[in-house]
């Protein structure tokens, strides 16, 4: 009996292990979603004195960490606009939905917001897979999505406004900065999914053209917690710098290992593109002090617009809450929508698309302007240094806002990339 039972237990445990692994894979796979019947006219009703917009963010699941702050900043922008008289004299009403960290749920909820809530525009999305899942819905329904997060580029849709950085506003300036600092060899570390892999392809192309040697390229599964081997590899490779595209909790384990192995920002600086102010708290400022980040906005940016944004955010959500790049981009996206609507004098998608080119807003990061051709916005690139107070301070910034170039068409070295 004992033997029989333990055999059963063994196979049950094995089944469970396999099951869990499969679920983990499955949740990443579900990217394509059929949006169903296409082309119905918008049911947007603008006769009343309010206008509805959707706020679609993951409020549960692994991405909730980050996306809740985006929801909060969208709400803040809407409150400010309403207090200031609304858009075209109408008060904005938010319909909030939970994307639950699942691309398929994002697609379903987007469909619901468009066809049953009849919203004028939707704000939100974070992961590239959630955006890719929503894209066909917005295109079929001819609706508008404002997507606030930096991403891997190589995309442009007339139904999406991208208010986060594309690669030439974040990764390319970071490489320019490293090159300027005399970095001649780099090591690439990233999580194993679409953003890091695409980013690293771009980095390789840049490195080839600029005489920078890539000493190694390593990916770890999302959520990976053991970095001792990778840190050993990085140490042996002895590169001038590390380019880090790890996502989420892996960063904590990576930086602790890195620091404990005796590697410092002075010997081998790490440039990260997914670590913002909130992540620094979990990593512990003492483990990441002196390391670099590449973004377009930090809480410490000095401008009157940012001062009032930070004050308003802290007054609304708590003095200990930092503001970060995606939050600022989400906040900005609401104002850009408002400014476009006011320029067009209409909430209709066609009118907004037609009026979008050249619409600008004095955002906390500086003045941003919509590019009507690719629906991205101009952004100032900033390299920041993480200090012991957990905040990030700008050490370098681009000369003014950089025009968005999602397909890197204006860069000769990137010619080989567009083939994909």
Partner 1 sequence: MDIVAGQLFTGLSIGSILLLAALGLSLTFGQMGVINMAHGEFIMAGSYTAFVVQQVVSSAGLSLFVSLFVGFLVGGALGVLLEVTLIRRMYHRPLDTLLVTFGVGLLLQQATRDIFGAPAVNVVAPEWLSGGVEIAGAVVPKTRLFILALAVACVIVLICTMKYTSMGRRIRAVVQNRDLAETVGISSRRTDVTTFFLGSGLAGLAGVALTLIGSTSPTIGQSYLIDAFLVVVIGGLGRIEGAVIAALALGLLNSFIEYSTTASIAKVIVFVLIVIFLQVRPQGLFAVRTRSLV
| Residues lying near partner 1 in the complex (CB under 8 A) | 1-3, 5-10, 12-14, 16-17, 20-21, 62, 64-65, 68, 192, 218-221, 223-226, 228-230, 232-233, 235-236, 249, 251-253, 256-257, 259-262, 278-279, 281-284, 286
CB of 65 to partner 1, least distance (A): 4
Smallest distance, partner 1 to C-beta of residue 186, A: 17
In order of 48, 129, 145, 191, the CA distances from 100 in angstroms are 32, 13, 18, 21
Closer residue to partner 1 in complex, CB, 50/228: 228
In angstroms, give the least distance from the CB of 221 to partner 1.
Answer: 6
C-alpha dihedral (81, 83, 89, 91), degrees to nearest 10: 80
Q: What gap in Å lies between CA 279 and CA 327, rounded to an integer?
A: 13
Largest CA distance in the chain: 78
Q: How far is the CB of 77 from partner 1 (least distance, A)?
A: 22
- Which residue, among 293, 352, 386, has the nearest Cα to 144 in the 3D structure? 352
Taking the least distance from each CB to partner 1, the nearer of 182 and 262 is: 262
Using CA atoms, how far apart are residues 35 and 325, in angstroms rounded to an integer? Answer: 31
Q: Identify the H or E element spanning 213.
A: strand 213-220
Burial class (CB in 10 A: 0-12, 13-18, 19+), 396: middle
Phi (first) and psi of residue 409, to 5 degrees:
-70, -25
Rounded to a whole number of angstroms, the minimum distance from the CB of residue 222 to partner 1 is 10
Nearer to partner 1, 11 or 116 (CB): 11
Cβ nearer to partner 1, comparing 129 with 259: 259
Provide the token pair at 240: 């001038």
| Strand, coil or helix: 220 | strand
CA distance 404 to 119: 28
Q: For residues 230 and 372, what is the distance between their CA atoms, to the nearest angstrom?
A: 43
Nearer to partner 1, 29 or 415 (CB): 29
* Nearest to partner 1 of 18, 315 (CB atom): 18
Q: How far is the CB of 234 from partner 1 (least distance, A)?
A: 12
Residue with Cβ nearer partner 1 (261 or 265): 261
Query: Which of 17/395 has CB closer to partner 1?
Result: 17
Least distance in angstroms from the C-beta of 339 to partner 1: 32
* Least CB distance to partner 1 at residue 141 (A): 31
List Cβ neighbours of 374 (8 Å cut-off, separation of 6 or more).
156, 404, 405, 406
Asked if 114 and 122 touch (Cβ cutoff 8 Å), the reply is yes
Q: What is the DSSP letter of 274?
A: S
């Amino acid at each position: 009996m004992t033997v029989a039972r333990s055999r059963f237990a063994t196979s049950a445990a094995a089944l469970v292990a396999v099951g869990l692994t499969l679920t983990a894979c499955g949740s990443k796979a579900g990217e394509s979603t059929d949006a169903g019947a296409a082309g119905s006219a918008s049911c947007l009703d603008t006769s009343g004195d309010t206008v509805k917009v959707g706020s679609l963010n993951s409020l549960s699941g692994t991405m909730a960490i980050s996306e809740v702050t985006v929801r909060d900043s969208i709400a803040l922008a809407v409150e400010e606009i309403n207090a200031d008289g609304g858009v075209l004299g109408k008060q904005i009403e938010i319909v909030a939905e939970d994307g639950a960290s699942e691309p398929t749920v994002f697609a379903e909820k987007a469909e619901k917001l468009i066809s049953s809530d009849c919203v004028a525009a939707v704000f939100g999305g974070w992961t590239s897979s959630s955006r890719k899942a929503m894209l066909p819905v917005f295109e079929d329904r001819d609706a508008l999505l404002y997507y606030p997060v930096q991403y891997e580029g190589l995309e442009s849709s007339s139904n999406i406004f991208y208010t986060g950085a594309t690669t030439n506003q974040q990764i390319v300036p970071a490489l320019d900065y490293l090159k300027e600092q005399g970095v001649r060899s780099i090591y690439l570390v990233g999580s194993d999914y679409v953003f890091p892999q695409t980013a690293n392809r771009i980095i390789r192309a840049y490195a080839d053209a600029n005489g920078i040697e890539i000493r190694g390229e390593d990916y770890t599964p999302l959520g990976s917690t053991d970095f001792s081997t990778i840190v050993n590899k990085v140490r042996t490779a002895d590169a001038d710098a590390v380019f880090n595209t790890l996502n989420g909790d892996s960063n904590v384990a990576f930086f602790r290992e890195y620091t404990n192995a005796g590697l410092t920002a002075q010997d081998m600086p790490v440039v990260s593109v997914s670590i913002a102010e909130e992540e620094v708290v979990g990593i512990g400022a003492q483990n990441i002090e002196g390391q670099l980040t590449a973004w377009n906005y930090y809480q410490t940016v000095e401008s009157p617009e940012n001062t009032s944004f930070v004050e308003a955010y802290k007054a609304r959500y708590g003095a200990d809450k930092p503001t970060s790049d995606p939050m600022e981009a989400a906040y900005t996206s609401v104002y850009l929508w408002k400014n476009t609507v006011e320029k067009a004098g209409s909430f209709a998608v066609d009118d907004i698309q037609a009026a979008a080119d050249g619409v600008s807003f004095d955002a906390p990061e500086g003045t941003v302007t919509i590019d009507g051709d690719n629906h991205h916005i101009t952004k100032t690139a900033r390299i920041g240094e993480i200090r012991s107070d957990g905040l990030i301070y700008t050490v370098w910034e681009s000369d003014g806002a950089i025009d968005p170039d999602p397909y890197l068409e204006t860069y000769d070295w990137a010619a080989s990339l567009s083939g994909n």
